[in-house]
Amino acid sequence: MTSAPGGRRNFIAASAESVSFGVANHLTAAAVVLPFICVAFGGSAFAAALIFPIFTGATLLGAVLAPRVLGLRPVARSLALILALIAIVFAITAVGILVVSPDWLNALWIVAAIVGLLSGVASIAVVEVMSSALATSEKAALSVVQSTGGAILTLVITIVLGLFFLDPDGRDAHLALLWVGIVAMLVAALSLLRIRPAGDAPVIPQHSIGILDALKSRPDRKHPWVREFLITQVLFLSIALGTSFYSVHGATLHGQESEALHYIVAVTAVGSLLFTAVWTLSRRKATIRGLLLTAAALGVFAAVAALIADYSGAEALPILSGVVIVFAAAGGAATSSTRSTWMYHNLGTENDTEIIIFCQIVLGVTATAVGLGLSLLARLDTVLPAWVMLVLSAYALFHARRGPRVRILDIRPGHEHNNHGRHFGGFHW
């Protein structure tokens, strides 16, 4: 397939945006970076525990409001503005940590709420931008560029900073990573300004459905797959949120003996690369059920490694805690991929919009509640949290056998239509 006029420029700009955004996503991740900074700089553990659930709830709200917000101006410019605003919020946060009293750290949940709201809108906008500017083959290539390129560059940045410039256990290292993430976010925003819609791109009508209307429609009663999808995704929330959980729990139980922020970010990037490698090797034979089993197995491996780390001596902690985060990050990536693929397989009717919003609301509210529970659990100074995660992951592995045995390559191209771009991105936590 040949690209439309300007398609090559669009792909280069989109690749630069994707890699930069991938780096920024790792270095400014609200689920990991903000809680760690909150505790490291003297904030309360309870305030740190609130950050992720509030971020998740705000992301849900942003995704639902996205159609109305994005209808106000060209989507690419809207996305560039949103990324710039996220960078500004993090910049204000970084400055505030240095010049304001530690009490400011207990208000980082406000930062999480603002960033979550903007991220929810951005998650929808990025799908629409890429859908309108890239050919189908280029979209597939871009996903590999973002996951692989962003992870590799993140790994290089954290290693260079940790080995040559900064004390990895010091506060300056935490803020340095945050500033690098801010710069990467601005680069992503500037790259978006070079993207232009393809000349033959279809005009997407702006329409939306209210939250109450979506809830009243109860698509889970009309479409049996919706209920099974929601049950499975709820059971997999412990795996989807594993990276945040284990980073907080490791810091609580072992302190700086086990990991510093740059180390967590680095091994999270390694986990993303691990899943990318597994996916690349197996995608021709992979099924939705196989992806579910893979994600659950990685969750079990992470929990077992966490238990070994909790019971081991201090000498083995750095290596073991890294293994935990690698498995947790790979499991989270596999869960997100499964969520996307399962939705693509079943969508393709006039009721797509209300199905997507209904699923977003149910999963968003549930993830907020589960995230709060896991955040509080992770703060317990015992080995109990790791045992709980092992039980939850093992049950998810048992349940995964019920997943659809549909090969990924057999999913009809016709399912990739415009409605997905409007609401689907909000499922990526």
Asked if residues 23 and 154 have their Cβ atoms less than 8 Å apart, the reply is yes
Give every CB contact of residue 3 below 8 A, 6+ residues apart in sequence.
Answer: 10, 11, 134, 135, 138
Residue 259's pLDDT band (boundaries 50, 70, 90)? low
Residue 239's pLDDT band (boundaries 50, 70, 90)? very high
Residue 4's pLDDT band (boundaries 50, 70, 90)? very low
Interatomic CA distance for residues 37 and 129, integer angstroms: 33
Q: Summarize pLDDT for 107-162 with one digit per residue, the tens.
A: 888 888 999 899 888 877 776 666 665 555 555 555 666 667 778 888 888 888 77
Cite the DSSP H helix spans in 28-107: 33-40, 45-70, 75-99
Residue 235 has pLDDT above 90, yes or no: yes
Q: Coil, strand, or helix at residue 2?
A: coil
Asked if residues 177 and 154 have their Cβ atoms less than 8 Å apart, the reply is no
Cite the DSSP H helix spans in 167-260: 171-192, 211-217, 219-222, 224-235, 237-240, 242-254
407 beta partners: 287
Interatomic CA distance for residues 95 and 418, integer angstroms: 41
Interatomic CA distance for residues 109 and 55, integer angstroms: 8
Both tokens of 397, joined, read 């592995």
Interatomic CA distance for residues 227 and 221, integer angstroms: 8
Give every CB contact of residue 150 below 8 A, 6+ residues apart in sequence.
Answer: 18, 19, 20, 21, 22, 23, 25, 26, 269, 272
| Percentage, residues of the chain above pLDDT 90 | 10
Q: Summarize pLDDT for 395-406 with one digit per residue, the tens.
A: 999 998 888 887
State the pLDDT at residue 148: 76
| Percentage, residues of the chain above pLDDT 70 | 71
Rounded to whole angstroms, what are the CA distances from 278 to 201, 215, 297, 393, 407? 34, 37, 13, 19, 16
Backbone angles phi, psi at 287, to 5 degrees: -120, 165
Both tokens of 7, joined, read 């398609």
Tell me how long the chain is.
429
Residue 299 has pLDDT above 60, yes or no: yes
Give every CB contact of residue 423 below 8 A, 6+ residues apart in sequence.
Answer: 63, 64, 66, 67, 124, 353, 356, 357, 360
Mean pLDDT of 286-305: 90
Interatomic CA distance for residues 240 and 429, integer angstroms: 8
Write b or e for each residue in 261-273: b if 16 or more Cβ atoms lie within 10 A of its Cβ, otherwise e: bbbbbbbbbbbbb
Asked if residues 129 and 193 have their Cβ atoms less than 8 Å apart, the reply is no
Residue 27 has pLDDT above 90, yes or no: no
Residue 280 burial (CB < 10 Å; 0-12/13-18/19+)?
Answer: exposed
Interatomic CA distance for residues 327 and 60, integer angstroms: 26
Q: Coil, strand, or helix at residue 407?
A: strand
Instruction: State which amino acid sits at residue 346.
Output: N
Interatomic CA distance for residues 69 and 253, integer angstroms: 43
Rounded to whole angstroms, what are the CA distances from 61 to 31, 220, 231, 235? 17, 21, 21, 22
Instruction: State which amino acid sits at residue 398.
Output: F
Interatomic CA distance for residues 391 and 421, integer angstroms: 35
Please report the DSSP string for 258-326 in residue order: T--HHHHHHHHHHHHHHHHHHHHHHTTT-BHHHHHHHHHHHHHHHHHHHHHHHHS-GGGHHHHHHHHHH
Number of H helices, E strands in the chain: 19, 0
Q: Coil, strand, or helix at residue 406?
A: coil
Q: Summarize pLDDT for 67-92 with one digit per residue, the tens.
A: 777 665 667 788 888 889 999 999 99
Residue 419 has pLDDT above 70, yes or no: no
Instruction: State which amino acid sits at residue 143.
Output: S
Of 7-16, 266-275, 317-326, 388-397, the range with the lowest mean pLDDT is 7-16
* Mean predicted lDDT score pLDDT of the chain: 75
State the pLDDT at residue 140: 53
